[in-house]
Structures are given as structure tokens and as C-alpha cells.
Amino acid sequence: TSWDVVFQNIYTHYLKETTQRTKLIDVFLAFLVVVGALQFAYCVLAGNYPFNAFLSGFSATVGQFVLAISLRIQTATTDKNEFPSVSPERAFADFIVCSLILHFFCINFIN
Amino acid sequence: MAVENQGTALDAVNSHSTRTLLRTVILFLIAGAAIASRLFSVIRFESIIHEFDPWFNFRATKYLVANGFYKFWDWFDDRTWHPLGRVTGGTLYPGLMVTSGVIYHALKALTVPVDIRNICVLLAPAFSGLTAFASYLLTNEMTTSPSAGLLAAVFMGIAPGYISRSVAGSYDNEAIAIFLLVFTFYLWIKALKLGSMLWGAVCALFYGYMVSSWGGYAFITCLLPMHALVLICMGRYSTRLYVSYTTWYALGTLASMQIPFVGFLPVKTSEHMPALGIFGFLQFIGFIQYVRSAISGKQFQTFLATLVIATFGIGLTGLVALTSLGYIAPWGGRFYSLWDTSYAKIHIPIIASVSEHQPTAWPAFFFDLSMLIWLFPAGVYMCFNDLKDEHVFIVVYALFGSYFAGVMVRLMLTLTPVVCVAAAIAASQILDSYLSVETPTEAEAEKSAEAAAKKPGKAGSLRGSEKPVIGVFSNVSKLSVVSAMTIYLLMFVTHCTWVTSNAYSSPSVVLASRMPDGSQHIIDDYREAYQWLRQNTKEDAKIMSWWDYGYQIGGMADRPTLVDNNTWNNTHIATVGKAMSSREEVSYPIMRQHEVDYVLVVFGGLLGYSGDDINKFLWMVRIAEGIWPDEVKERNFFTERGEYRVDEGATETMKNSLMYKLSYYNFHTMFPPGQAADRVRNVRLPSQGPVLNTLEEAFTSENWIIRVYKVKDLDNVGRDHAAVAAFERGQKKKKAAKKAGPRALRVD
């Protein structure tokens, strides 16, 4: 029963406190989780024969996930004091550069 | 009036731009000193590659420059490990070769055509200047003191612990790897402090560069998660840690997997599991942290704590289970022997046989680090004093670095950067306190003491550090401490120069000795013999030698070898060991099967050169015994009393072994009858030398250091070689043999 309350609280807190932009990032995050889970399930079901292909696909989702979370952390208003030198625009530019590097490596690795 | 004037003049000099200018000049001087102190061997001898491993790197670089990058990437080398060959593109760290290839082409584009050999020889000194700069940056992140970074740069520039692996001509992976190590650490600290994705990504890129150049990258993959774990355990988790670590891991792991030699290792071996584990753990903690900000309630926090610990435990057991089920490879032998220090000696003699893999003795620490070794603990202690996130890193690094340097001589190299940083922090603290010109007045002291007493002291801080820092009152103590420190620093420079000049600047290819009048006498037998092989043998004549000389034969003589310093196939090495340690009748078929044309042995008995093959012989026996315990037995090479002898009292097995025969063949003819002496083992040899049937002497260098033998072809008439040799010596067949012996019937 306490778990129900906890989840209810988290849900209401989320709806109330989260800005529209952050919610957009969260949708992207959810999408990445679904894609990653699908890839993993396929790997479990069908075997991992081109292992590099699986790894690059899966780590692309994982890497993009953590980069998006980093962007979310840095743009969310609550954490301003943690990152004095990172403005939201700077965070977005960082995100783009890191994603480009990530995708370069993934495409190179998938062969 | 005069005092006032002076003050304004000092202020004018003490401006920001003057400081910057001074810093730049000092850093350039440090780089100059770092490069200049590594040139002893080039100036004394010549610009050549030293040691053994660099010869392979040099050969690979030449291949890269001659054939281009793609051919280098897919290089199958059929001139080593005959008859197996080596997939070189997939079994080396290409960073070093690509770096010098890029420099070569860049200089060529600038119309400064430099021979690739000179680039390879001078690469390590050039990068040592960069290492000094990287340690300057790293130390500046640790402390606000303006002098600490410069001191660290000086220390790093000339510390013998680093010079030993980066003198000119030492074209080894460490030459660029230490720069990349220190610079990656700097970028990591920067990323952690700023919590910036970009710095994390740059850190990951340099980590990828480090992976491409040295196997020691595993140190970084284990140290960064260790740092993160310690921070989490100290309750210092922050979103900055999350951002920097996850960015580094996600990009860095992908970057490391691009190197063919590394491939899938980051997800399949135990060395890389700490990084993955902390990555997962950080996701979880980040989520928990978010939940905690969302809801309140004290009983929930304890609930979460149990959840965190439970998850960590489940992750750990999952890892152990995956390892024991075989999905994740256990620790490799080289890494495992760092934890279980007697493992290699018992199970893998080939690891234990390398002299760099021995534990370090105390004098080595003082020899390689001089005064830094006693400033190092003080610096670590100062890191404890104001314990910020980056200081935790120094503490963790110091702990692990010291342990690893204690169990293996070679890993002194990874300890040196942290010693330089910590020692610079300590030394700069001393200098900052005692070099201050202003003497505090009594009133000031009392005021600040009162202020400190009013301020609530930090609960955790040490009692000694609670008192406010006011300054040093007495000019005498200032003068004495500063002058003592200056003397120590000057002595450090002389020590470093002396050590570099005397211990670390000798190319092992040429041996230098002194004539009675002080002039230098160079013994150049190695190159003499390799040159002979290069000019007087067929292009594809296979050379059999012990693996130590494999790279040099490939590099200097340009002939295919059976085994070399890349000891990837233990059985093949054991085959050579068996051929060397068996009787001729056993060795000859082995050599025929492997198409050996020449056998090369190193013999120092005439000159007293102790690193010869007879002294390495027991390792050959041991490695061969590991594979063929029935045919090669170490016990048989010792006398009844357990002595390893080569003189009259040597055992029959020893006297009949191929190595003994090859080393001492015809050696007694150099001396008056009965006077033959071995100057390494200091024994008198038997007056009758060994007899060789299946090989013939092809070349012996001037000082008998290198001896090359040609493997005879099969006898035309089909007799065995012993019979042929006996016939040619004119020995009659024994009468008894005429008798109808137990001959077998002819089978058609």
C-alpha cells in the first residue's frame, strides 16, 4: 500500500513540477528505452550473431539516453546551482556535439 | 618615499600580463629541459632505436609510411611467427605508429622532409614536453596555489621514473601513453568539476586515443569508476558526477571498441566490468535522487538506502555469476598476477621470465623519484585536508598507483605522475607559506584568531587545521626553510640528470665500455651479426632464436623469425625452447619441420656479457617443460648437488643440449690448451669442446657475442648426421657394428 502512495506522489509531483520542454525530453527518453528494450529482446530471442551490430545499435540507444538525461539535468530549472558555467543553450550545444560523436562511433562500429 | 616608489614598481611588474608571460616562458623552459635531458644517448652514440620492443614499432611505422593507412590496418605479417604469421593490424595498438606517421606526413607537407627513423627516435622526448604541460594543467585543477602547477611540470619533466621509458630512441608505447594518461585525467577532473558534457566527450576522445596506444588503458577504466564509487560512498553524489561519468563511459567505451585489438573486450572481460557496474549504479542512484526530490518522508529514505544496497549487491552477484558461467572472461594472466603476486611464477613462466615484472625494491623508489618520494605522502595528506572531489581522485590514484608500483617494477611509470602532482602540492604549500614577504602583525593575528574562534568549526576537520593560518613571523625561519627547499630542489635536478645520464641512456643495441685511457670503446656485435644475416642469407631464410631477439632480427636483419617478443603463442615459444634444450637428434627434426635455416644464439662468455642465452637457458627449459614435461626436465640440467654448471662438472643433459653446444662450439680454440674460461660464469671449461653434427658454424661476431649456425641439409645418401660426421672425422665404424645386429627387415 505504501508503494501505491509513493508512486501516486511521484506522478503528481512530476505532472505539477515538470515544464513542457522537459516533458518533451522525457518522451524521447521513453522512446529510447522502448527501442533499446526491443533490440535487447530481439538479441535474446534471435541470438547475437553480428555482435558488433547489436552492440552499436544498443549502445547508441544507451548513449543517447544518458546524453538526453544529461541535457534534461542541465536544462531543468532546479539544478541551476550545480552547473554555474553551463547555460541551457550551452547544454544543448554540448548535447549536439556529443550525439554527433556517438553516432559517428556507432556507424563506424556497425560496419 | 623610497619604499613607496618601490611598492608601485613592484605592483607594475606584478601585473596579470607579466605573470602570464613568466608562466609561458617557464613552461617553455621546462619543455626544453625535458627534451634536452632525454638526448644523452643520441649525442653519445647515434640516433637509433633502443631495446627490443621499439624495433617492432619502428618496423610497423615504416610499413605504415610506405603502404598507407588501410594496408597497415589489414597487415598480415608473414615474416614473424613462421609458419603461423601474425595478423598485425588486429594485434597491435596502432596509436604510436599512426601518431608518428601523421607527424611524418605533416612535416613533409611543410616541406621539411625528415627521415621516419628520426621521427621515431625523437617522438618520446617531444611528447615528454607535452606530458609536463599536461601535469601542469592537472595540478592547477587541484590547488589554487600559482606555483604548484609549474612545480609539477618541472617534476614530471625530469623525474627519472618517467625518463626511463621515454629517452630518445625508446620508441615504445609508453612514449605517448603517459602524456595521454595525464591529459585524460586532467580532462576527467575538468569534466567532473564543471559537470559539462563537452569536457566529458573530450575526455572520452582522449581516452580512445589512449586505448589505441597502450594496453595500460585498463588503469584508466578501473581508476575512474573507482573514483566515482568512492565519491558515491562518501555521499558526494552530484548531477555533475552523473553527467561527466555517463558521458565519458558511453562515448569512451564506443571509442575504445573501434580499435581491432580491443574489439568486444569492454563488454566481455573482467577488467572493464567496474566501469560498466558503476555506469549502471549511477543510473540507479540518479533515479533514486530524483525520487527523493519528488517526495518526502523519513521512513522512505531508509527504504531507499536498503534499495540502493540491495541493487548494488544484486549487480555484484550478477557479475560474479556471469563470470563463473563464462559469459565474462576472467582476469587475464598479466592482470591477475598483480593481485596474486606468486601466480605468474607458478603458472605462467613466460610472464615471470621478464625482468620488468618483478616486485620493486625500496632503493628503486628513491632512485627513480628522489626527493619526490618523501614529499608524496605529504601531498596526499594535504589533499585530505581540503577534501574536494578532485582531491579524492588524487588520493585514490595515489593508493592504487603505489600498490601497483610495489608489485611490478614496470608500473613505476604509472605512479610517477601522481607522485609529481602530490609532491608539487606539498612543495608549493611550503614555499607559499615561507616565501611570503609580509610579516603579520600581532594585531592582525589576534583579529583573525578571534574571527576563526567565532566561526563554527567544521565537525570533521582535524584539530590542527582548525586554527587560522596567519603567516610566519620570524624571518630566520622563513630564510632557513626556503633555502633548504631551494637546495633540495637543486639537488633534485642534479640527481635526475645524473640518473638519466648514467642509468637510463644506454642503447642496448651497442655496448659501450671504457678503454684504460678513458676513451670509449663500442662493442657493436649485434648490428654486425644482423647485417651479416641481411646481406649474406636468402631473402626468406628463417632464423630461429630465443624470443628476446625476434623483433631485432625482424627489424635489423629483415629475416623471418620463429618467435618474437610479442609472446602470443606460448606453445610455439616452448617449441623453440625444446629445440634449444634437447639433444641434437631431437632438435634437428624440430628445426626441419619448421624450415629453420639459421640458428642464432647470444654468447657472452668471451667478453663477460651477462645477458646471454646460457643465463636465460633455464627459462627456456622451464617454458618447454610446461608443455612437454616428459621430454624436458629442469632437474636434469642441475648436478647432483643442485648446481647449474657449464664446466667439467656439467650434467650430460646440459652438455648434450643444443644451446650448450652452440654457445661453446670451438670456444676452446681461442685459448691455449686447457685454459678455456667463461668470463660470465667464471669457470674453466673442459679442454675438449662440444661436437656439432647437424649444424655448421656460419658466422661469429667479433667478440663472439652473436653466433649464427646454418642447419645442414639431409644427407644425400640417407645416413644420419652423427654417422656422417663420424665418417668425415675418419672414425672407423666399430667392429661390433659389423656383426649381424638386430636390424629390421626392409619394408616396401
pLDDT digits (tens, 9 = 90+) for B644-663: 988 888 899 999 999 999 99
Residue B331: pLDDT over 90:
no
Task: Please report which confidence band the pLDDT of residue B745 belongs to, taking 50, 70 and 90 as the band edges.
Answer: confident
* Residue B734 region by backbone torsions, left for phi larger than 0, else alpha for psi between -120 and 50, else beta: beta
Neighbours of B621 (CB within 10 A): 26
**B23 located within any domain:** yes
| Cα–Cα distance measured from residue B218 to residue B223, given in angstroms and rounded to the nearest whole number | 8
**B598 located within any domain:** yes
Which domain covers residue B624, as residue numbers? 524-728
Domain count, chain B: 2
Task: Please report which confidence band the pLDDT of residue B4 belongs to, taking 50, 70 and 90 as the band edges.
Answer: very low
On whether both B425 and B528 belong to a single domain, the answer is no
Tell me whether residues B251 and A98 touch, CB distance under 8 A: yes
Which of B179-188, B320-329, B720-729 has the highest average model confidence (pLDDT)?
A: B179-188
Q: Show the cell assigned to B345.
A: 611464477
Interface probe for A, chosen from B193, B239, B304 (most Cβ of A below 10 Å), is B239
**What's the mean pLDDT when you consider all of chain A?**
89
Q: What is the pLDDT of residues B589-598, one digit of tens each?
A: 999 999 999 9
| Cα–Cα distance measured from residue A68 to residue B1, given in angstroms and rounded to the nearest whole number | 64
Closest CA to B569 of B586, B594, B538, B534: B594
Omega prior to B125 cis, within 30 of 0: no
Q: What is the pLDDT of residues B346-355, one digit of tens each?
A: 777 777 777 7
Partners of residue B286 in chain A, C-beta under 8 Å: 69
| Cα–Cα distance measured from residue A64 to residue A33, given in angstroms and rounded to the nearest whole number | 10
Neighbours of B392 (CB within 10 A): 20
**B697 located within any domain:** yes
On whether both B568 and B425 belong to a single domain, the answer is no
**B253 located within any domain:** no
- Tell me phi and psi for residue B716, to 5 degrees: -65, -35
On whether both B568 and B711 belong to a single domain, the answer is yes
CB pairs under 8 A between A and B: 98
| Cα–Cα distance measured from residue B347 to residue B333, given in angstroms and rounded to the nearest whole number | 9
**B479 located within any domain:** no
Tell me whether residues B254 and A74 touch, CB distance under 8 A: no
Model pLDDT, residue B723: 86
On whether both B424 and B540 belong to a single domain, the answer is no
Q: Work out the minimum CA distance from A33 to partner chain B, whole angstroms.
A: 13
Partners of residue A74 in chain B, C-beta under 8 Å: 195, 197, 243
Model pLDDT, residue B29: 96
Q: Work out the minimum CA distance from A43 to partner chain B, whole angstroms.
A: 15
| Cα–Cα distance measured from residue A10 to residue B720, given in angstroms and rounded to the nearest whole number | 89
Give the residue on B whose Cα is nearest the Cα of A5: B295
Model pLDDT, residue B468: 61
Residue B457: pLDDT over 50:
no
Give the residue on A whose Cα is nearest the Cα of B243: A70
pTM for this predicted structure: 0.90
Tell me whether residues A97 and B198 touch, CB distance under 8 A: yes
| Cα–Cα distance measured from residue B552 to residue B600, given in angstroms and rounded to the nearest whole number | 12
CA angle B535, B540, B541 (to 5 degrees): 70
**What's the mean pLDDT when you consider all of chain B?**
88
Tell me whether residues A79 and B200 touch, CB distance under 8 A: no
Closest CA to B256 of A108, A66, A67: A108
Q: Work out the minimum CA distance from B303 to partner chain A, whole angstroms.
A: 11
| Cα–Cα distance measured from residue B198 to residue A41, given in angstroms and rounded to the nearest whole number | 32
Residue B643: pLDDT over 70:
yes
Model pLDDT, residue A80: 67
Count of residues in chain B: 748
For residues B52-81, give the mean pLDDT.
93
Q: How close are the terminal C-alpha atoms of chain B, in Å? A: 120
**B316 located within any domain:** no
Sign of the C-alpha dihedral, residues A24, A30, A32, A38? negative
- Tell me phi and psi for residue B513, to 5 degrees: -140, 170
pLDDT-wise least confident of B173-187, B541-555, B675-689, B723-737? B723-737
A71 CB near a chain B CB, below 8 Å? yes
For residues B159-176, give the mean pLDDT.
92
Residue B459: pLDDT over 50:
no
Q: How close are the terminal C-alpha atoms of chain A, in Å? A: 50
**B41 located within any domain:** yes
CA dihedral B118, B123, B126, B127 (to 10 degrees): 180
- Reduced to 3 states (helix: H, G, I; strand: E, B; else coil), residue B516 is coil
Task: Please report which confidence band the pLDDT of residue B734 belongs to, taking 50, 70 and 90 as the band edges.
Answer: low
Name the residue with higher pLDDT: B332 or B28. Answer: B28
On whether both B703 and B557 belong to a single domain, the answer is yes
B202 CB near a chain A CB, below 8 Å? no
Q: What is the 3-state secondary structure (H, E, C) of B627-639?
A: HCCCCCCHHHHCC
On whether both B544 and B648 belong to a single domain, the answer is yes
**Domain holding B642: CATH number?**
3.40.50.12610
CA dihedral B108, B109, B110, B113 (to 10 degrees): 10
CA angle B389, B390, B391 (to 5 degrees): 95
- Tell me phi and psi for residue B521, to 5 degrees: -115, 125
User: Given the C-alpha cell 655448421, which residue does it identify?
Assistant: B696
**B560 located within any domain:** yes
Partners of residue A62 in chain B, C-beta under 8 Å: 250
Model pLDDT, residue B438: 74
